[in-house]
Structure 1
Amino acid sequence: MRQHHTQSQPDEPCVVFRDVAVRRGGHIIWRDGNFSIPMGSVTAIVGTNGTGKTTMMQAELGLLPLENGSIRVLGRPAGDANHLIGYVPQSYTSDIESNLTAEQSVLLGLTGTRFGIHRVSREEKAKACKALDFVGIADRAAYRLSELSGGQRQRVAIAQALVGDPQLLMLDEPLANLDLASQRSVVDVLAKLNRELGMTIQVVAHDLNMLLPVLTGAVYLLDGHPHYAALDEVLDSNLLTHLYGTSVRVVTTPQGDMFVTPGLRTDDETPQDTHDPIELAALHRHEGGSR
Structure 2
Amino acid sequence: MSPAPSPLHITSAALTRGGRVLWSGLDLTVEPGELVAVLGPSGAGKTTLLRAILGLEQLSSGTIEAAGVVRRAGHPGGKGSRRIGYIPQQRPLPRETSLRGRDVVALGVDGHRFGLPLPRRGDRARIDALIDAVGAREFADRPVGLLSGGEQQRLRVGQALADDPPLLLCDEPLTSLDLANQQAVVELIDHHRRTRGAGVLLVTHDINPVLGSVDRILYLAGGRFTLGTPDEVLTSETLTGLYGAPVFVLRAGGRLVVVGAPDVAESAHHHDAHAHDAHAHGGHDA
Which TM-score applies when normalising by structure 2? 0.79
Cα RMSD (Å): 3.0
Query: Secondary structure at the residue paired with 1:165?
Result: coil
Report whether the alignment pairs 1:82 with 2:72: no
Deviations 1:245-273 (A, max 9, x none): 2542246x8xxxx631358xxxxxxx776
Which residue matches 1:289?
none
Distance 1:135 1:46, change over 3 A: same
Out of 10, 22, 28, the position equivalent to 1:17 is 10
Deviations 1:64-92 (A, max 9, x none): 22111111123441467722111122366
Question: Aligned residues: percent identity?
Answer: 33
Shift in Å, 1:29: 2.6
Q: 2:96 and 2:121 mapped to 1: Cα distance?
A: 23
Matches within 5 A, 1:60-99: 60-78=53-71, 82-90=81-89, 93-94=92-93, 98-99=97-98
Matches within 5 A, 1:206-245: 206-240=205-239, 245=246
| CA contact 2:226–2:233 (8 Å) conserved in 1 | no
Out of 39, 61, 75, the position equivalent to 1:46 is 39
Which residue matches 1:248?
249
| CA contact 2:13–2:25 (8 Å) conserved in 1 | yes
Shift in Å, 1:114: 4.8
Write the letter of the residue equivalent to 1:139: E
Which residue matches 2:104?
105
Query: Secondary structure at the residue paired with 1:183?
Result: helix
Q: 2:121 and 2:140 mapped to 1: Cα distance?
A: 15
Q: 2:95 and 2:60 mapped to 1: Cα distance?
A: 32
Structure 2 residue runs without a partner (length 5+)? 72-77, 264-275, 282-286
| CA contact 2:38–2:218 (8 Å) conserved in 1 | yes
Deviations 1:48-105 (A, max 9, x none): 1111111101111122221111111234414677221111223664489832111111
Which residue matches 1:172?
171
Q: 1:276 and 1:92 mapped to 2: Cα distance?
A: 18
Q: 1:43 and 1:165 mapped to 2: Cα distance?
A: 19
Query: Secondary structure at the residue paired with 1:110?
Result: helix
Number of matched pairs: 261
Q: 1:211 and 1:196 mapped to 2: Cα distance?
A: 18
Write the letter of the residue equivalent to 1:212: L
Q: 2:14 and 2:261 mapped to 1: Cα distance?
A: 30
| CA contact 1:33–1:227 (8 Å) conserved in 2 | no
Deviations 1:4-54 (A, max 9, x none): x9xxx6274332222211133454332221232222111111111111111
Which residue matches 2:157?
158
Distance 1:261 1:25, change over 3 A: closer
Distance 1:156 1:66, change over 3 A: same
| CA contact 2:98–2:143 (8 Å) conserved in 1 | yes
Distance 1:262 1:88, change over 3 A: closer
Q: 2:94 and 2:17 mapped to 1: Cα distance?
A: 23
